[in-house]
Homo-oligomer: A and B are copies of this chain.
């Protein structure tokens, strides 16, 4: 089985190395007959697809080089495209994907890192850290006291590996966790599950709100101005999903007016956020540059473990656990 690993040029932290690949093969000795090829030359990508059965690469590379191509002819043997990121919204709609080829993301890789970042964000919001960062800019020493998390309401939109891991931490700190997802499947870390079309009903009691869902046509603009104003006064938000999940301008307006009590975001529109953007200077808004979920020490090993598990599933005729459903977009 021929696997083509296409790394991006000019990156140092996250490209998959032959050593990491060898180590993955040794961790999964039951997955036999694999041959891996490596390239970081964008020109090498399309020719490599002539015989590759699995392509391992970045969303960015797929977006720039593949979604405009006729893969049915270019990649006759290709059965899996494994994306080493979780969010594949830039690749939607998946009309470029031949029916015999599955697109996989690496969901699962980010859980431990994102979970820790998420509980950090909730604790930072509870402790007014975005406001203290604002006060530090001005050299103002002015205490503002804070309660512990126990017994307080957090609503987590999206219970994939990111939102699920954050919900677990929140639960461990004694929070009352409401999970919002497409269906009504229960989740071990949630006190209750609310389907997405009932979101409006839970917002007024959501002191903390976490956005951890994928960006799809259904979730684009989900937290628009109207829904942001349904939150209780002083509500605190954390966005680990994607910038377009909320109305950034409405968020800034509601922080400016003091209606919202603080926000932390790891995502923005656009990324990178230009230096003169109002987000940088909105009071009570703390910005991190899209780094919350990626642990460079474990990232590639974990991604390759996930790939192996999907190869194992394919060979056994089981559904691929990381397959993106073209109809849902995640």
Asked whether A116 and B149 contact (CB < 8 A) given A139-B276, A140-B275, the answer is yes
Query: How far apart are the CA atoms of A272 and B141 in the complex, in Å?
Result: 6
This protein's copies in its complex: 2
Q: Which of A31-39, A124-132, A183-191, A231-239 contacts B (4 or more CB under 8 A)?
A: A124-132
- Beta-carbon contacts under 8 Å, A109-158 to B: 112-113, 116-117, 119-120, 123-124, 126-129, 132-133, 135-150
Closest to A299 in B: B145
- Find chain B residues with CB under 8 A from A197 CB: none
A-B contact sample (16 more), CB < 8 A, given A13-B145, A127-B292 = A113-B146, A113-B147, A120-B123, A120-B127, A120-B129, A124-B124, A129-B129, A129-B286, A133-B136, A139-B273, A139-B274, A139-B280, A141-B289, A145-B296, A146-B295, A147-B296
Show 29 residue pairs from A and B whose CB-CB distance is below 8 angstroms, ordered by the A residue.
A13-B145, A116-B123, A116-B149, A116-B173, A117-B127, A120-B124, A120-B127, A123-B123, A124-B124, A127-B292, A129-B286, A132-B288, A133-B133, A133-B136, A136-B280, A136-B286, A136-B287, A137-B137, A138-B275, A139-B275, A141-B273, A144-B289, A144-B291, A145-B291, A145-B294, A145-B295, A146-B295, A147-B297, A148-B298
Residues of A within 8 A of B (CB): 13, 112-113, 116-117, 119-120, 123-124, 126-129, 132-133, 135-150, 172-173, 268, 271-277, 280, 286-292, 294-298
